[in-house]
Amino acid sequence: MNETTLQIVIYVAISLAVIGSLAVLLLKGRKTPPGTYTSTRDDDDRVASGTAGTSTDTLERPTGTADDVIVPDDLRDLDETTIGTETVPVETPAEVQGRLARLRARLIRSNNALGKGLLALLSRDNIDEDVWDEIEETLLLADLGTEPTMELVDALRARVKVAGSRSPAEVKDMLREELIKLVDPTMDRSLATDRHADRPAVVLVVGVNGVGKTTTVGKLARVLVADDKDVLLGAADTFRAAAAEQLATWGQRVGVPTVRSDVDGADPASVAYEAVKAGIDGEVDVVMIDTAGRLQNKVGLMDELGKVKRVIEKLATVDEVLLVLDATTGQNGLNQARVFAEVVNVTGIVLTKLDGTAKGGIVVAIQRSLGVPVKLVGLGEGADDLALFEAESFVDAILN
């Protein structure tokens, strides 16, 4: 072999080696991370079979994956967490007991016009038809609803007629008793958040965008953590920009992990499924799923929420469906409530922004319309301004 031929052979060998190395590097770069599901199929069976896998070792995911779900490695016992580049110490939320009592001052200010107005009208020496019309108007403006308003006015008419002369204290007691009957303290307002023998309790949170739904999920997580429960969040609102990041931030502040997708528009059912699966594997007490509220028509809403619920129930029963409503929306809130009640079996209402309105009667109107109790009320912008609803405390706040 002459020198020229030897040089050619060496050159070819080196070239093949370089090409081979580049090919190996390229294949490694395209390799799907462990557990990532890359198919674009979108059906319940694929999700339920568990093939919509997850990665627990990296946050870097293929950008084209529709169901790219991130499940945290550690589900509890966190001392600090990282939000972006900032390390945030885990906070201790306020105790559950006494929250409503602590926030009564805000509620008193909010509903002062309703309570004080009624007391002033009923304390008059002569209550004629004009006064009764004013009482009726006050109740209707407070969003009590037509039927409950008529019931209350009729009950008060009968009691005033029997009582004759009345002291301010008697008037207040009379009104208190009738309002408590309307708010109905007999309704079961307990949250179904106790862990089952073999699985966590599953809570689905629904509602239109703008009512503070994601924030409510975060605040409720604080309530449950304060009650010594291990909680896992599922960010199934994959359509609203930054919704998953917002929810994760709420969770991180109290050491609660969040299962989410890092791809906008990913399949919400996949996220919900993986969250419940992670909750079962991690033996947590409660899994809460935040859902999208952007849908503008009932058909789309039924398809979206129906699929999420069906997929979750491949693993576990949904124990609680909480509908978040804005107290300031009045009758429009009732219309929203009816639509959601037709789509999913709503078991409880969370009434937000109650501190920003004098229309406390919406509590009665919603319960009458749906036959579902108000279980939680949001009374402010603070992280711990969410309280379990208590009928008697609510009425007392209105009348004080």
- pLDDT, tens only, 212-263: 889 999 999 999 999 999 999 999 998 887 889 999 999 998 889 999 988 8
Handedness of CA 123, 124, 127, 128 (dihedral sign): negative
The DSSP secondary-structure symbol of 93 reads P
The domain locations on the chain are 1-31, 75-98+187-399
How far is Cα 48 from Cα 44, in angstroms, rounded to an integer? 6
For strands 258-261 and 69-70, give the pairing. Answer: antiparallel
What values do phi and psi take at 326, rounded to 5?
-90, 120
More confident residue, 38 or 196: 196
Residue 95 has pLDDT above 60, yes or no: yes
The count of other CB atoms within 10 Å of the CB of residue 383 is: 16
Tell me the per-residue pLDDT of 130-148, one tens digit each, with 9 for 90 and over.
999 999 998 888 888 899 9
Comparison of pLDDT for 233 and 339, the residue scoring more: 233
State the Cα–Cα distance between residues 69 and 47, nearest whole angstrom. 12
pLDDT band of residue 66 (cuts 50, 70, 90) is very low
The dihedral through the CA atoms of 149, 151, 154, 156 has a sign that is: negative
Question: Which range among 4-8, 56-60, 140-144, 163-167 has the greatest average pLDDT?
Answer: 140-144
At 264, the pLDDT band (50, 70, 90 cuts) reads confident
pLDDT of residue 286: 97
Res. 363: pLDDT tops 80: yes
HSE-up (13 A, CA, CB side) for residue 284 = 31
Which residue, among 236, 376, 379, 380, has the nearest Cα to 294 in the 3D structure? 236
Are the C-beta atoms of 348 and 372 separated by less than 8 Å?
Answer: yes
Residue 56 has pLDDT above 60, yes or no: no
Distance CA 363, CA 201 (A): 26
Give the model's pLDDT for residue 44. 46
CA dist 161 to 120, 151, 181, 182, Å?
17, 16, 20, 20
pLDDT at residue 299 in the model: 76
Model confidence at 206, pLDDT cuts 50, 70, 90, reads very high
Span 58-85, mean pLDDT?
A: 46
CA distance 385 to 393: 16
CB burial string 16-39: b at 16+ within 10 A, e below: eeeeeeeeeeeeeeeeebeebbee
Sequence-separated (6 or more) residues with CB below 8 Å from residue 11: none
Total residues found in the chain within this entry: 400
What 3-state DSSP class applies to 19?
A: helix
Q: Tens digits of per-residue pLDDT, 160-176?
A: 888 776 788 888 899 99
Q: How would residue 209 be classed by pLDDT, with cut points 50, 70 and 90?
A: confident
> Distance between CA 32 and CA 40 in Å, rounded?
14
Per-residue pLDDT at 39 exceeds 70: no
Q: Is the pLDDT of residue 23 over 60?
A: no
Let me know if domain 75-98+187-399 sits in CATH 3.40.50.300.
yes
The whole-number pLDDT of residue 182 equals: 93
pLDDT for 197: 94
Spatial neighbors of 30 by CB under 8 A, at least 6 apart, are: none
- For residue 77, pLDDT beyond 60: no
Give the residues across from 80 on adjacent strands.
89
Residue 343: strand, helix, or coil: helix
pLDDT of residue 127: 87
Please, what is the average pLDDT of the chain? 77
- Which range scores top for mean pLDDT: 54-63, 288-297, 368-377? 368-377
pLDDT band at 12 (very low <50, low <70, confident <90, very high): low
With CA atoms as reference, report the closest residue to 286 among 232, 217, 323: 232
Q: Which has the minimum average pLDDT: 81-85, 311-315, 348-352? A: 81-85
Indicate whether 70 pLDDT > 70: yes
pLDDT for residue 338: 85
Residue 39 in tokens: 């198919």
The pLDDT assigned to 362 comes to 86
Write out the H or E segment, with its range, that includes residue 82: strand 80-83
| HSE-up of residue 319 (Cα within 13 Å, Cβ side) | 18
What pLDDT score does 74 carry? 58
Output 64 or 250, whichever has higher pLDDT: 250
Q: Which residues of 63-89 are buried (b: 16+ CB within 10 A; e: fewer)?
A: eebbbbbbbbeebeebeebeeeeeeee
Q: To the nearest whole percent, how much of the chain has pLDDT over 70?
A: 70
Give the sign of the dihedral formed by CA 71, CA 72, CA 77, CA 78: negative
- Residue 318: predicted pLDDT: 96
